[in-house]
Chain A
Amino acid sequence: MPRTLPFFVLVTIAAVLGDGAIPTELHAGGMANGIIRGRVEVRRTTTNSDRRPTVASLGAPPERERTIPKQSVVYLQSAPRGAFEQTDPGRAVMDQRNETFVPHVLAITTGTIVDFPNSDRIYHNVFSLSKPAKFDLGRYPVGRSRAIRFDRPGIVRVFCDIHSHMNAFILVFSHPYFALTDGEGQYRINDVPPGTYQVVAWNEGVTSDPKPAVVPDGAATELDFLLR
């Protein structure tokens, strides 16, 4: 069957990240690294707040923890040379509580092993069909945990095949220059070698246009994003 659809934009970005970006500027060692910080504002209208209850809502628990505002991720589209060697793969945790993946957004570097413990009171499953990591951890009971290592950069969306509303994003980067926003949308990327970079903000599958950022020697630069 012929496929004429354009690939999803995020996939393209992930591919670019995976290939390794070419640094736009080189700096000699010994210079102090700078900081990129700012605020990401998400103004997304909820289009279907009045829609009828779906089948999905039928099985949902009546009460749940108020979810924190969806976090955004800000990252450098292109990383400085040698950045890939600086990754320090470790372990990360994506918990499952109250039929929710916690955290909803996880940003890691390649090679990181993510544990998916089941801290709920029911069985769960974790799977993904995303290009960078297609996997299915199967269903497992409360108290168990399963893990998987993410080796390819990109955006991986995970689901639970028992609970259709459960989903989470794992953004896998090949460099360490990324940051999650806090409750107020503030972010801070530390240790950025001085130079000029293209910076992108991501929120729930929506990416901003790359914005150029000049990181001065040992100082901070401000960069705000507005996502619609």
Chain B
Amino acid sequence: MRPLRSLQSRIFLASALLTVLSIGVAIYLVSLRVNREAESSLQADIVATRALVDQLRTTRADTFTMMARLLADTPKLKAAVDTNDPPTVQDVADDNQERLHSNLLVVTSRSGQVLAWVGGTLAEARLIAAHPSTRAALEGGEGFDLLPASEGMLQLATVPVSIGLEHPEVLGALSVGFLLDDELAAQLKSVTGTDVAFGLDGKILASTLPSDLRDEASSLLSALSPRNVTLGPEEYVALALPLAPGDKGPPSSAAAVILRSREPQARFLREINTELVVTAVVGVLLATLLSFAVARTITRPLAAITAVMRDVASTGDLTRKIAFRSSRRWQDEDARLLATTFNTLTESIARFQREISQKERLSSLGRLSTVIAHEVRNPLMIIKTALHTLRQPDVQSAAIREAAADIDGEVARLNRIVNDVLDFARPIRFELGTVEVNALCRESAVAAQATPGPPVSLTLSPDVPSLTTDGEHLRLALVNLIVNARQAVDARQPVAATASGGVVEQVDSPVRVSTQATDSQVVITIADAGRGIDPVDLPRIFDPYFTTKRGGTGLGLPIAKNIVEGLGGTLAVVSAPERGTQIRIELPRMAENNRRTES
């Protein structure tokens, strides 16, 4: 799921997925619809073709019967048949067959003998003369039959040759036959685009099918509803049409089979499907490219904004702006809004920062003024008093020395105040070296106990390694903190118990300094049992010039914090009023002190 974490990927994947899905559904629906339409059009085609063949069959039957009637009614034929003379009849029959283009023409005498025939063989002619329809015609009736022939199926119209109106006299019978042969089937196929077969008694007699498939197709003569069938390499839908020989004819097994190949339909469907797939592929590709482009219109500005943000975070340069006026990638409204807002935000932050620092400077200046006013005026007063003493006319040498010492002490004090202020105001320049932390703690404790006050106990872990850090500054911080701790204890217990300046390793000492090593850190803890810090003051204790002590500059803790943080460590304070305070300094084992060189 990692790719989904990025907005660009999500937009891109969602668009691509949506496209694929919609195109897929569209293709599926189109394909379904096309298939259904093709199938129904196939069925409609075959039914229409069957109707056409049926109509053709009826028309042919009517036409041939009409032809036979017309021919039988010609006086020439009547006169010829009346002679009962075969050569006479033959001449007339020849003439008429030429005009009718019939495949077979048989004239039968009143007694049932063949008088003349055109087309076919004598045997066939005799068969026709003996056919029930011919006998019916000699009785004055008519017949229409379907007979098997050597080249197909014969549609045979038989009518009487009769004369007279009220009591017609039958002179003979005329049979006119037309073939339903391969040629006719081929003509039908050229008109309907459908294969056609004519069959009788379960045998295909004429068709457009290749001769080797006719036996297979013969079973279809009874397919009264559309049937799917495979003949040779092709698939067909087959439908049979029973060929009733005529209006009054006896039932017959003759039938026409309409065979519609599925191949054109299959080809059409294949083409459609290929086109659909090509469309889908092109569509998906285009959609992919488009969604990629759209995703980029969002993510490229985002990346630019992110880059500037990272830059601002690492350099702290709030004047950095996202330059979007010139680039085309910023045409997106949302991205422009985001960039504009970001620019406004950084401007506001910079402005607030400037205002805060201005305020801080003013308030620091105010507090400094108070401190200086107090701290500087005291030494100045002492110096003035000493100078006054020196101006006395009878000054003792001892008094001169005392005054000089006072002046000297107060100048030193003034100098220290100036140094503190400068120390805080000036950027700290660290000078790194290998430092033995335990030794440093011990030295700091000694330095801090230069003045009388409570003793400092040391609990130093031998596991604590040497660190690469700035020993001098760290010592300054530790001394400041230990001094603070002793003063805090003093403030609670005004009567100090010790006067000794030596290091007392005492567990229940009011000020304890301990070291400890963890995997990644060295921890220095300065704990006191002093009066603690008022919770109200706790948030402000690292503010410069904040102090609760007379004579304090309010710079000790801020300086210590600056140093520790400057060395890559942290400084935390936990305090309870009237119980004591614990300051915890954590320094990284790996030297990262060069991370920051300025406070």
Contact = CB atoms under 8 A, between A and B. Distances in A.
Given A51-B140, A129-B80, A2 B122 contact: yes
Contact of B164 (A5, A7, A131, A165): A165
6 contacts: A5-B114, A11-B85, A54-B168, A129-B88, A162-B75, A205-B169
Contacts of A8: 83-85
Given A54-B73, A130-B82, A164-B78, A48 B166 contact: no
Interface string B468-504: 0000000000000000000000000000000000000
Given A7-B85, A49-B167, A164-B78, 15 more contacts: A2-B122, A5-B109, A5-B113, A5-B115, A6-B111, A7-B84, A56-B73, A128-B79, A129-B79, A129-B80, A131-B83, A157-B79, A163-B75, A167-B78, A167-B164
Contact of B82 (A46, A47, A157): A157
Interface in B45-101: 66, 69-70, 73-76, 78-80, 82-88, 90
Nearest to A46: B167
A127 interface: yes
A222 B121 CA distance: 52
A5 B122 CA distance: 12
A5 B86 contact: yes
Interface of A: 1-8, 11, 46-49, 51, 54-57, 60, 67, 127-131, 157, 159-167, 204-205
Contacts of A165: 163-165
Given A48-B162, A48-B170, A161-B76, A3 B82 contact: no
A164 B84 contact: no
B90 A164 contact: no
B139 interface: yes
A5 B125 CA distance: 13
Contacts of A160: 75
Contacts of A161: 75-76
A165 B85 CA distance: 21
A160 B78 CA distance: 10
Given A1-B90, A2-B122, A54-B73, A204 B169 contact: yes
Contact of B168 (A48, A55, A131): A48
Interface residues of B, number: 37
A161 B90 CA distance: 18
Interface in B535-556: none
A159 B78 contact: yes
A3 B87 contact: yes
Contact of B79 (A2, A3, A60, A127): A127
B143 interface: no
A212 to B, nearest CB: 27
B566 interface: no
B141 interface: yes
Most chain A beta-carbon contacts within 10 A, residue among B70, B75, B80, B164: B75
B113 A6 contact: yes
A160 B73 CA distance: 12
B75 A127 contact: yes
B455 interface: no
B589 to A, nearest CB: 127
Contacts of B160: 48
A164 B69 CA distance: 12
Nearest to B139: A47
A130 B83 contact: yes
B74 A164 contact: yes
A97 to B, nearest CB: 15
Contacts of A162: 75
Contacts of B139: 47-48
A166 B79 CA distance: 11
B79 A57 contact: no
B156 to A, nearest CB: 19
A60 B73 CA distance: 13
Contacts of B169: 204-205
